[in-house]
């Protein structure tokens, strides 16, 4: 007999597990198929984000930041620490415990909500049938009323730097180094390169980041990117822009192996020798083995599953969400798409607002933004006003001895509607939520200016930047004409 479900979800990363839980909450019989295995070969839920992405990287970012603070940041506060050292085994084990706790939590949520977890591979066939190949056992054909595809993404590999053992690694390997490399190379000054470069740099590696583009973080606001570059370089990251990697060669044997990386810059061919190399040049949609030729789902020209604004594929009642579809490869975007599709299947009418997807880079200081950048607004010719406020004069930042960075608010010149908010600073990842809420409700800069913020908080910098749009931030001498 063919097992039947109202909804079958393929993939239990943030996109898939959110979709599955919401479907079950809405009374739909739901199964979620995932093929991931943990280091011990046991099925594990949570996808890239929980196992090899957001969560383990933040566990190491937070631990390494505390180490860096203990080494360099506490003396100014009158705290003497003596010699501080790391126990990498303990740090890694704690990271593993955090991951285990959260992935186990999803298993419990599935159980509690009545989602059937199926460990193995899923393949979409025609007519909303799904071929399920368990890790152990015979292939089964399942019938679904609706199918949600959420297979995620995998790292891009490049021919000049093929992954090799634990020497040339992708982001997953870089979360599992057994020792701190003395010299670490990173290809790509994108989000992963900066986050993992920061982790290992703080733990003691000499880090060289090779970035093909001349521009640093082109997706961020120019001013924020410029200031962030200076700060990160000041922390010791040797970020080389305009450096396109063209080759790599592993030399030596055993523990003495090193990698010579070849790259092209303005002056011609260059070489740098490192002990470990991280390849962080982007991710690609993962669709291997997912689709039968006659299933009716199409790919776009870049290999993503083709969907409309509501995440519907070309096959009726088949949806796709998360990294495998267009848009930023971010866990929160994946989650919102999963929930939207579940609710649409249940007859509700939610939308995902792609104009208010926040981006965060978890360096220190953090870099966070939502909406459009100043350079995008200039290019579009839309008139706008700008308010900025530096953390160097924010009371809470001074009290905490964490004053780097600024907040920048961009608002429409005619309507004062907030068009973008950009933050470089401690806890920017938390502060940006206030801007997202404001933009979600179409707030004006004046609305934020008229809102009361607790004192003393870092959030007051956002308040002041919003006031600054009209030229009347209180803690800054404004040269703009007052209104």
Site for ligand FAD in 463-482 (CB under 6 A): none
- Give the DSSP per-residue string, 5-56: EEEEEE--SHHHHHHHHHHHHTT--EEEEE--B-TTS-B--SHHHHHHSHHH
Partner in contact with 193, chosen from ligand NAD, ligand FAD, none, beta carbon below 5 to 8 Å by kind: ligand NAD
Partner in contact with 187, chosen from ligand NAD, ligand FAD, none, beta carbon below 5 to 8 Å by kind: ligand NAD
Cα separation, 295 vs 18, whole angstroms: 24
Contacting residue, 13, 185, 193, 425, with ligand FAD by CB under 6 A: 13
Q: Which part of the chain contacts ligand NAD (CB under 6 A), choosing from 83-91, 187-195, 303-311, 376-384?
A: 187-195
Pick between residue 17 and residue 384 the one whose CB is nearest to ligand FAD.
17
Catalytic (active site) residue 472: no
At which residue do the structure tokens 């303005």 appear? Answer: 266
Q: Does 283 bind ligand NAD (CB under 6 A)?
A: yes
Beta bridge partners of 359: 369
Total of chain residues touching ligand NAD, rule CB under 6 A:
25
Total of chain residues touching ligand FAD, rule CB under 6 A:
36
- Provide the mask over 103-122, with x wherever binding to ligand FAD is found by CB under 6 A and - wherever it is not: ------------------xx
Give, for 270, the enclosing helix (H) or strand (E). strand 268-274
Contacting residue, 5, 8, 16, 200, with ligand FAD by CB under 6 A: 16
Q: Does 322 bind ligand FAD (CB under 6 A)?
A: yes
DSSP 8-state code for residue 441 = T
Q: Which part of the chain contacts ligand FAD (CB under 6 A), choosing from 73-81, 147-155, 211-219, 416-424?
A: 147-155
**Cβ pair 426, 366 in contact under 8 A:** yes
Q: Does 188 bind ligand NAD (CB under 6 A)?
A: yes
Site for ligand FAD in 191-210 (CB under 6 A): 192
Q: Does 225 bind ligand NAD (CB under 6 A)?
A: no
Site for ligand FAD in 55-74 (CB under 6 A): 57
Cα separation, 337 vs 353, whole angstroms: 10
Q: Encode 113-135: b = buried (16+ Cβ within 10 Å), e = exposed.
A: eebbbbbbbbbbbeebbbbbbee
Cα separation, 194 vs 57, whole angstroms: 11
**Cβ pair 216, 424 in contact under 8 A:** no
Q: Which part of the chain contacts ligand NAD (CB under 6 A), choosing from 14-22, 183-191, 293-301, 456-464?
A: 183-191
Q: Does 326 bind ligand NAD (CB under 6 A)?
A: no
Question: Sign of dihedral through CA atoms 400, 406, 412, 416?
Answer: positive
Determine how β-strand 168-169 pairs with β-strand 153-155. Answer: unpaired
Contacting residue, 33, 192, 239, 421, with ligand NAD by CB under 6 A: 192
Tell me the backbone φ, ψ of residue 116, rounded to 5 degrees: -85, 115
CB 101: neighbour CB atoms within 10 A? 11
Contacting residue, 297, 334, 432, 435, with ligand FAD by CB under 6 A: 334
Partner in contact with 213, chosen from ligand FAD, ligand NAD, none, beta carbon below 5 to 8 Å by kind: ligand NAD
Q: Does 193 bind ligand NAD (CB under 6 A)?
A: yes
Cα separation, 227 vs 146, whole angstroms: 48
What count of residues does the chain have? 483
**Cβ pair 378, 349 in contact under 8 A:** no
Q: Does 210 bind ligand NAD (CB under 6 A)?
A: yes
Kindly name the residue from 271, 317, 455, 463 that is annotated as catalytic.
455
Q: Does 10 bind ligand FAD (CB under 6 A)?
A: yes
Pick between residue 191 and residue 424 the one whose CB is nearest to ligand NAD.
191
> Among residues 103, 110, 89, 101, which one has the least CA distance to residue 176?
89
Residues that bind ligand NAD (CB under 6 A): 158, 187-193, 195, 210-213, 244-245, 280-283, 328-330, 360-362
Residues that bind ligand FAD (CB under 6 A): 10-16, 33-36, 47-49, 53-54, 57, 121-122, 150-153, 171, 192, 286, 289-290, 322-323, 329-332, 334, 362
Residues with catalytic function: 455
């Amino acid at each position: 007999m063919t097992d039947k479900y109202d909804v079958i979800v393929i993939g239990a990363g943030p996109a898939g597990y959110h979709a599955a839980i919401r479907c079950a909450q809405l009374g739909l019989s739901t199964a979620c198929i995932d093929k991931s295995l943990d280091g011990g070969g046991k099925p594990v839920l949570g996808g890239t984000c929980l196992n090899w992405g957001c969560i383990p990287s933040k566990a190491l970012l937070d631990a390494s930041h505390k180490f860096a603070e203990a080494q360099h940041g506490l003396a100014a506060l009158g705290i003497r620490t003596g010699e501080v050292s790391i126990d990498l085994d303990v740090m890694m084990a704690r990271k593993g415990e955090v991951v285990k706790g959260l992935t186990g939590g999803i298993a419990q949520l599935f159980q509690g909500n009545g989602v059937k977890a199926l460990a193995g591979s899923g393949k979409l066939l025609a007519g909303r049938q799904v071929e399920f190949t368990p890790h152990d056992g015979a292939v089964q054909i399942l019938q679904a009323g609706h199918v949600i595809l959420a297979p995620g993404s995998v790292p891009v590999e490049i021919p000049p730097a093929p992954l090799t053992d634990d020497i040339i690694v992708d982001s997953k390997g870089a979360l599992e180094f057994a020792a701190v490399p003395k010299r670490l190379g990173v290809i790509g000054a994108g989000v992963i390169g900066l986050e993992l470069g920061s982790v290992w740099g703080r733990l003691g590696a000499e880090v060289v980041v090779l970035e093909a583009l001349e521009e640093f973080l082109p997706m961020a606001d120019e001013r924020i990117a410029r200031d962030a570059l200076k700060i990160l370089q000041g922390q010791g990251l040797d970020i080389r822009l305009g450096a396109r990697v063209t080759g790599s060669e592993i030399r030596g044997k055993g523990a003495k192996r090193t990698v010579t990386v070849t790259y092209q810059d303005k002056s011609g061919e260059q070489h740098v020798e490192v002990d470990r190399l991280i390849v962080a040049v982007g991710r690609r949609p993962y669709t291997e083995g997912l689709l039968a030729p006659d299933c009716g789902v199409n790919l776009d020209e870049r290999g993503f599953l083709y969907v409309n604004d509501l995440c519907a594929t070309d096959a009726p009642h088949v949806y796709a969400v998360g990294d495998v579809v267009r848009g930023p490869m971010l866990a929160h975007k994946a989650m919102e798409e999963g929930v939207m599709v579940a609710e649409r299947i249940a007859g509700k009418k939610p939308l995902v607002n792609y104009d208010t997807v926040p981006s965060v880079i978890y360096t220190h200081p953090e870099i966070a933004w939502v909406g459009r950048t100043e350079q995008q607004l200039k290019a579009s010719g839309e008139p706008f006003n700008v308010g900025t406020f530096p953390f160097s004069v924010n009371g809470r930042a001074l009290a905490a001895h964490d004053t780097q960075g600024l907040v920048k608010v961009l608002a429409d010149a005619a309507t004062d509607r907030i068009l973008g908010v950009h933050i470089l600073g401690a806890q920017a990842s938390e502060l940006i939520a206030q801007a997202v809420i404001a933009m979600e409700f179409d707030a004006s800069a004046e609305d934020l200016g008229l809102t009361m913020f607790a004192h003393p908080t870092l959030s007051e910098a956002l308040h002041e930047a919003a006031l600054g749009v009209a030229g009347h931030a209180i803690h800054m001498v404004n040269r703009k004409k007052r209104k």
